[in-house]
Amino acid sequence: MSLRHPKNSIKILSANSHPDLSNMICERLGLPLSNVKALELANNEDAILVGESLRDEDVYIIQTGCGGFEKLNDYVMELLLMIHACRTASARKITAVIPNFPYARQDRKDKSRVPISAKLVANLLTTAGCDHVITLDLHASQIQGFFSIPVDNLYAEPNVLKYIQSHFDNKDDIILVSPDVGGAKRVASLADKLDTMFALIHKERAKANVVSKMVLVGDVTDKVCILVDDMADTCGTLCKASDLLLEKGAKEVMAIVTHGIFSGNAICKLNQSNLKRVVCTNSMPLNNLQELCPKLEVIDISGTLSEAIRRLHNGESVSYLFNTAVF
Amino acid sequence: MRDIVVFSGSSNRALTERICVNLGLVPGEVELKKFANGETSVRLCDSVREKDIFIVQSGSGKVNDNFMELLLTISACKMASAKRITVVCPLFFYSRQAESPSSKKGVPFLSGSTKHTLLDSVPSSPCSFSHRTSDQIPAPSLSSLNESAATSPHKTAKTTASDTNVISPSPLNPAVSSKSMKQQNVSISSSCNEKDSEHPRKHPYRSWISQSGTLIANSLTSAGADHIVTMDLHDPQFQGFFDIPVDNLYSKPLVQHYIVNYVSNYKDCVIVSPDAGGAKRATAIADSLGLQFALIHKERRQRVVEHPITAVSLGPYALAPISSSDNLIVHSPAQNSSTSNNSDSNGNSNNSAEKVVATTMLVGDVQGRVCVIVDDLVDTGTTVLRAARLLKEQGCVYVYAVITHGIFSGEALKKLKRSSSIDQVITSNTVDQTAHVEEYGKVNNEPLEVLDVSRIFAEAIRRINNGESVSLIYDQGW
């Protein structure tokens, strides 16, 4: 054994945002969760307690951008502090696994004198000492360019593909619909692979989180419409889109999203909406949402993430995962 | 005022208003809100192109929200072509770094300043098993140690116990929290039989809490801050974390002003520092007012044992015996109530006094004097309460507590209200005190007094903007 390069191993660290996902990943990798904890202090600051040696280890920190109104920024800080703690603990390499990248939607200067928040978060991650980022279905893949470190943007697409194939026998019955122009590419690629039709909804936004007017491009008559998007936040778009589709003669509408953020009264809206089913991945903690909303179905994404971690650690190609679902 | 814009974060708008009044300005308009998913959104409504920007944000309340908001505001200014961005943090973010690992409840104890002494005074490497050679496991096999520790604590007990050189910081080891505590005791007693100084550990790695100072400093710099203005930094070394200029202002002139004008017969009072870390701050005030000075020294080491151990058995880490209900675990409500009971029934019993202040000692004479405790911040209030209690026990007549940053998190204000040890609490508006003043109400007919720091900050902003020296206001105030 060379003295300079002792055998190093994967250390999976979980911050507080999504312990379930961390546990699933650990289980798949057959590794225990490392004893590094994020603690909340009396004065609302966070502290990281390092309970085992990380020296010269390959560290993966799992923290997703969630937590809603109260906790989102806390989780961002937690992640930064944890990266910094690992850096202090002389970890060989620190990879942040951020399935849902926080502030991903504030990725451009759409008004004057606003920050490009996604860029700031990217800078903060790099500043904290992050060496590599694994994320899932970035809102805009250009965000990868905000980083000066490698970013692996994984896709939930293979898993979504599997889901659709296993639930619909006749591909002529279904039509994929993109609820906005921005997602058209994502939907087109999925439609190509399924060899189905796709339609597109154009929406005009007056303000953030508020949709004013929608126009459907494409024919959905007597088809099962599958709305595909990268995230469902307040679900206003999805609900309005489903109304529009039914109005245009669709037989049934369901939605598949990667990140189920479901903030505000989204769940309530979904329950009242015409959507038959809403499918999302477990990139966000869903807690008891499935009980609150019987329409909700979950695709497990931990396989893709853990395989990415394994491949990254062993220096194998990650692009295999772009086309292959891992179960 | 040339090309100056002062923006306010959402943490302390009142202070910004006051600063702006002092400067004769209107605060810059900025739209701060959160999206439904919790992401902070910032939009500057005033032009900042080629302007000198000051952003006021305090590290209080929802600290992380405020910090992200500050970073986003800095970033927005930078992107909007601001000439220079100065961050005014009356209370700095994460300025007090965690020092001891978790308590029973998993909430770390946070207070005082002397993190470094604590860490340094204990040999840091938990696995220095190679001091003695022969019958030892080879040093690098940490993992095997780990294993053996995990599988049989007894085995480790033996190995470690046989090595007198091995130094165990285990009383501080949070791995040794509640659950494993019993086991610990058992093994301690067994090793004591062998007349050894060793505490066998279940886990050979000594947990530590990461220091966030550099991260905060680097985050601000990378967001685009060009200059930091803050007040009474808990660690003066914090300035060294930055690559940009940091102006650390002092509340000393304000405190002196208060003492001279509002403490009756102030020439006879004693300035007290509640811990060694604040000694310098307190002596500076005592010196310039020509007052006497006293220091409370608190020994922070905690023994996580149910029964006192004799000093001999602890070897190099011997301290006076401390009973288990000692002060480090402050967050458990049971402990809180017990200590406050002690304070309420003050002269009640030696027993209780010993419990609480066994590790605290007073250097200086306060018999029959009025004491002014000077500290930079109060968070949970334990330190200052403990100090006040000790002072009262030592015969002090009246206790003022002058605190620059009154964070008062958790039950702090309730504790202060319940306790009769502190007669008057004075703080400053580096942290928004409106809610605190209301909650505190009046104790002994004395409300929570708030000193106004806005003039110091306004003057600093004016001088920075004008390129004048700031050091002048260190001593004179404004």
What residue in B sits closest to A75 (Cα-Cα)?
B64
Q: How confident is the model at residue B7 (pLDDT cuts 50, 70, 90)?
A: very high
| A8 close contact with B: CB closer than 8 A | no
B321 within 8 A of B307, measured Cβ to Cβ:
no
In percent, the amount of chain B with pLDDT more than 90 equals 52
| B218 close contact with A: CB closer than 8 A | yes
Pick from B80, B203, B210: which is nearest to A85 by CB? Answer: B210
Q: In the numeric block, which tokens belong to residue A277?
A: 């089913």
Pick from A84, A112, A209: which is nearest to B210 by CB? Answer: A84
Tell me the sheet residues that pair with B400: B372, B424
pLDDT at site B9: 95
**Quick one: A284 and A243 in the same domain?**
yes
Residues of A in contact with B40 (CB under 8 A): 73, 117
pLDDT at site B206: 86
**Quick one: A198 and A263 in the same domain?**
yes
| A72 close contact with B: CB closer than 8 A | yes
Q: Choose the most confident range, by mean pLDDT, from A41-45, B190-194, B247-251.
A: B247-251
Residue A49 has pLDDT above 70, yes or no: yes
Domain-located, residue A84: yes
How close, in Å, is residue A151 to chain B by CA atoms?
A: 19
The number of distinct structural domains making up chain A is 2
Q: How confident is the model at residue B300 (pLDDT cuts 50, 70, 90)?
A: low
**Quick one: A280 and A306 in the same domain?**
no
Domain that holds residue A122: 10-155+302-322
In angstroms, the CA B321 to CA B451 distance is: 41
Q: Do B174 and A49 touch (CB under 8 A)?
A: yes
**Quick one: A151 and A161 in the same domain?**
no
**Quick one: A36 and A77 in the same domain?**
yes
pLDDT at site A119: 96
**Quick one: A265 and A137 in the same domain?**
no
Interface predicted TM-score (ipTM): 0.94
Strands (E), chain A: 10-14, 36-40, 46-50, 58-62, 93-98, 132-136, 151-154, 174-178, 197-207, 210-217, 224-232, 252-260, 277-281, 296-299
Domain-located, residue A5: no
How close, in Å, is residue A136 to chain B by CA atoms?
A: 18
Domain-located, residue A4: no
Among A residues 127-156, those touching chain B with beta carbons less than 8 Å apart:
127-128
Pick from B34, B93, B221: which is nearest to A69 by CB? Answer: B34
List the single range of A122-126, A276-280, B81-85, B146-150 with lowest mean pLDDT: B146-150
Q: How confident is the model at residue A109 (pLDDT cuts 50, 70, 90)?
A: very high
In angstroms, the CA B259 to CA B201 distance is: 50
pLDDT at site B299: 65
**Quick one: A44 and A91 in the same domain?**
yes
**Quick one: A182 and A255 in the same domain?**
yes
In angstroms, the CA B74 to CA B222 distance is: 10
Residue B126 has pLDDT above 50, yes or no: no
- Cβ neighbour number for residue B308 with a 10 Å cutoff: 14
Q: How confident is the model at residue B472 (pLDDT cuts 50, 70, 90)?
A: confident
pLDDT at site B222: 96
Residues of A in contact with B101 (CB under 8 A): 49
CATH of the domain at A38: 3.40.50.2020
Residue B315 has pLDDT above 50, yes or no: no
Interface test with A, best of B35, B37, B48, B79 (most A CBs within 10 A): B37
Q: Do B64 and A76 touch (CB under 8 A)?
A: yes
Largest Cα separation within chain B, whole Å, is: 76
Find, among B166, B167, B176, B164, the residue nearest to B203 by Cα.
B176
Domain-located, residue A183: yes
Among B residues 182-211, those touching chain A with beta carbons less than 8 Å apart:
203, 205, 207-211
- The residue with greater pLDDT, B23 or B176, is B23
Domain-located, residue A192: yes
What are A221-279's pLDDT values in tens digits? Answer: 999 999 999 999 999 889 999 999 999 999 999 999 999 999 989 999 999 999 999 99
What are A190-204's pLDDT values in tens digits? Answer: 999 999 999 999 877
Domain-located, residue A318: yes
What are B44-72's pLDDT values in tens digits? Answer: 999 999 999 999 999 999 999 999 999 99
Among A residues 241-260, those touching chain B with beta carbons less than 8 Å apart:
none
Q: Choose the most confident range, by mean pLDDT, from A209-223, B200-214, B352-366.
A: A209-223
In angstroms, the CA A201 to CA A69 distance is: 29
pLDDT at site B191: 38
What are A55-81's pLDDT values in tens digits? Answer: 999 999 999 999 888 899 999 999 999
Side-chain-side CA neighbours of B196 within 13 Å: the count stands at 22
pLDDT at site B122: 32
pLDDT at site B477: 67
Question: Mean pLDDT throughout B89-104?
Answer: 72
Q: Do B107 and A264 touch (CB under 8 A)?
A: no
How close, in Å, is residue A17 to chain B by CA atoms?
A: 13
Q: Choose the most confident range, by mean pLDDT, from A177-191, B162-176, B193-207.
A: A177-191
Q: How confident is the model at residue B306 (pLDDT cuts 50, 70, 90)?
A: very low
pLDDT at site B99: 60
Domain-located, residue A120: yes
B202 within 8 A of B180, measured Cβ to Cβ:
yes
Q: In the numeric block, which tokens belong to residue A6?
A: 């002792």
- The residue with greater pLDDT, A246 or B322, is A246
**Quick one: A92 and A169 in the same domain?**
no
Residue B371 has pLDDT above 80, yes or no: yes
**Quick one: A40 and A103 in the same domain?**
yes
**Quick one: A111 and A168 in the same domain?**
no
Residue B370 has pLDDT above 60, yes or no: yes
Q: Do A80 and B215 touch (CB under 8 A)?
A: yes
Among B residues 387-416, those touching chain A with beta carbons less than 8 Å apart:
407, 409-410
Domain-located, residue A3: no
**Quick one: A116 and A71 in the same domain?**
yes
